[in-house]
Structure 1
Amino acid sequence: MTLIRRSPCPADADPAHRTAVGVMDAAGPQVCDGMSVEVTLAVMAAARTVRLVVCDQDGQCTGLVTHAELAAVRDRSDYTDRVRLRDILGDHGSFASPVTTLAEAEHAMRTRRLGVLPVVDEQRSALGILALSR
């Protein structure tokens, strides 16, 4: 797997020195961690996306959720409509900064088995998303 590059990469560009800000996708729609799974799935459907950035009440990024993760939660026998995103986020606290190199981001994503990684600023506001290609 390698990072998806949305913009052309010059032949002499060294991935060890290129940064996340150069290849990240826009963060896209964001949801509050107090939202229910059902409402979040509806937001995903309306936005025609398979993942959303999750933020707390202060607007700080707390992670990402995917449609597959939410569908798996909804299909569990102990699921109720009271389940909130903050209840299921688990280990989604991995982030990259705009100055993280592509090599560092790719290593972190492989090590943690993440398909996507939010890029956040110093205040942990979501700036974008890095994604691995398969």
Structure 2
Amino acid sequence: MTLLQTHPRPAGADSVHRTVADAMDAAGPQVWDDMTVEVALSVMVAARTGHLVVCDEDGRCTALVTRARLTDVRNGSAYTDRVRLRDVAADDGPFASPTAMVAEAEEAMRNRHLGALPVVDAHGNALGVLARSRFSGRSN
């Protein structure tokens, strides 16, 4: 798991120096990695969300999949109704620590062209999701 680390926050830090925990949204739907792509897309539609947090059999977050990614997989020539999330989800992050600075997470998301980043605790449990839209309007 690639976890974004943080540096200690100065005592007088203002809101510009927010942590990921301050800016994240609820994790939303969490699904098992053995779920099929078709079922995952149905869950997204029902939950009115554009992403799902994917967990392994121990409940640890392994990935975040988007509707766009799953739609691309479903429309691909190699797709069958047996394709599972574990087959298409990019394991091993990146993930953000809730104590990481938003600026660090923003940089990682920009560099990797991610629209959302799962926030996990030290044990890999999903705590939330940091959506790029939360800070994309901010000037650099």
TM-score, with structure 2 as normaliser: 0.82
Looking at structure 2, the residues matched to 76 and 38 of structure 1 have their Cα atoms a distance apart, in angstroms, of 13
What is the aligned partner in structure 1 of residue 34 from structure 2? Answer: 34
What is the aligned partner in structure 2 of residue 8 from structure 1? Answer: none
Once the two structures are superposed, what CA deviation does each residue of 1:84-133 show, in whole Å capped at 9, x if it has no partner?
A: 00101126610000100011111111111111101000111000111112
Once the two structures are superposed, what CA deviation does each residue of 1:56-96 show, in whole Å capped at 9, x if it has no partner?
A: 00000011111111111000111001100010112661000
Pairwise CA RMSD of aligned residues? 1.5
Moved over 3 A (4+): none
> Does 1:53 find its partner at 2:53?
yes
Deviates more, 1:89-98 or 1:119-128: 89-98
Could you tell me which runs of 5 or more consecutive residues in structure 1 were left unpaired when the two chains were aligned: 1-11
Looking at structure 1, the residues matched to 26 and 62 of structure 2 have their Cα atoms a distance apart, in angstroms, of 17
Q: Secondary structure at the match of 2:108?
A: helix
> Does 1:69 find its partner at 2:45?
no
Q: Is the 8 A contact 1:96 1:117 kept in 2?
A: yes
Could you tell me which runs of 5 or more consecutive residues in structure 2 were left unpaired when the two chains were aligned: 1-12
Q: Is the 8 A contact 1:44 1:52 kept in 2?
A: yes
Q: Is the 8 A contact 2:56 2:62 kept in 1?
A: yes
What is the aligned partner in structure 2 of residue 85 from structure 1? Answer: 85
What is the aligned partner in structure 1 of residue 128 from structure 2? Answer: 128
What is the aligned partner in structure 2 of residue 13 from structure 1? Answer: 14
Q: Is the 8 A contact 2:30 2:52 kept in 1?
A: yes
Q: Is the 8 A contact 1:50 1:67 kept in 2?
A: yes
Among all aligned residue pairs of Structure 1 and Structure 2, give the percentage whose two residues are the same amino acid. 62
TM-score, with structure 1 as normaliser: 0.85
Aligned residues: 122
Q: Secondary structure at the match of 1:40?
A: helix
Looking at structure 1, the residues matched to 92 and 129 of structure 2 have their Cα atoms a distance apart, in angstroms, of 13
Q: Is the 8 A contact 1:64 1:92 kept in 2?
A: no
Q: Is the 8 A contact 2:62 2:91 kept in 1?
A: no
